[in-house]
């Protein structure tokens, strides 16, 4: 196989990996925030439910969760699942998995804030929602960005687990080409793709962190 053809096929696979990455962040970041609120809720049932959810998501392999989300509707409800559900199942599994990790990151950031800031905001006439959105949350984002960056970089590499549902992302395509051509080169090229993407994301996250340096 010509090198240019291999690059084209791996590039197409990389676009699929990037779509998993982008959609997972789109759904898991806000979901993680809501889960963190539930985890800190005064309602014992809600707090306990969120704790169990986080424990399951963090305590079981993502690959197993992918298989459960994809095959679960069939085995539990006899639903007819087809190839069209494969990508949806991948996004659902990735999103609920990473939401659990982001929830704990959010929670640690929120709970690290000084209670005095809430009291000062209340004296100045801020509502609870305004206090959180305008005063607390920007500082929380600044504090948790390094941890979020680590999870984001891990997510880039975890997109390769989509192969467990026979989804042709970049790693799957690299394996197929390597097996067909009996050549290790596709893996090396895939490694370069992953590294460059990781480096770009790390650079952007670093710039974001510096842009928020005015928050204490």
pLDDT in tens, 10-30: 888 889 999 999 999 999 999
pLDDT in tens, 72-89: 888 887 777 776 789 999
Query: Is the confidence at residue 60, as pLDDT, over 90?
Result: yes
Q: Are 96 and 31 in contact (CB under 8 A)?
A: yes
Helix (H, G, I), strand (E, B) or coil at 183: coil
Tell me the domains of the chain and their CATH numbers: 3-211 (1.10.3720.10)
Helical packing angle, 84-111 and 137-158, nearest 10° = 140
Q: What is the pTM of this model?
A: 0.88
Mean pLDDT computed over 42-60: 94
Average pLDDT value over all residues in the chain = 87
Query: Is the confidence at residue 67, as pLDDT, over 90?
Result: yes
């Amino acid at each position: 196989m010509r090198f240019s053809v291999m690059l084209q096929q791996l590039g197409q696979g990389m676009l699929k990996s990037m779509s998993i990455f982008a959609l997972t962040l789109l759904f898991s970041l806000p979901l993680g925030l809501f889960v963190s609120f539930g985890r800190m809720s005064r309602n014992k049932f809600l707090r306990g439910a969120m704790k169990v959810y986080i424990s399951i998501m963090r305590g079981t392999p993502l690959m197993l969760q992918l298989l459960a989300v994809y095959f679960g509707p069939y085995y539990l409800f006899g639903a007819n699942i087809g190839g069209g559900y494969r990508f949806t199942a991948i996004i659902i599994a990735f999103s609920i998995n990473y939401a659990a990790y982001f929830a704990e990151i959010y929670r640690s950031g929120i709970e690290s804030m000084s209670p005095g800031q809430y009291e000062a905001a209340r004296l100045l006439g801020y509502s609870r929602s305004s206090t959180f959105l305008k005063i607390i949350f920007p500082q929380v984002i600044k504090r948790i960005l390094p941890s979020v960056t680590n999870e984001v970089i891990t997510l880039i590499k975890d997109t390769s687990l989509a192969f467990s549902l026979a989804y042709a992302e970049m790693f799957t395509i690299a394996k197929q080409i390597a097996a067909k051509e009996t050549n290790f080169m596709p893996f090396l090229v895939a490694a370069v793709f992953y590294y460059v993407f990781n480096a770009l994301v790390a650079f952007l996250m670093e710039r974001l962190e510096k842009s928020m340096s005015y928050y204490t």
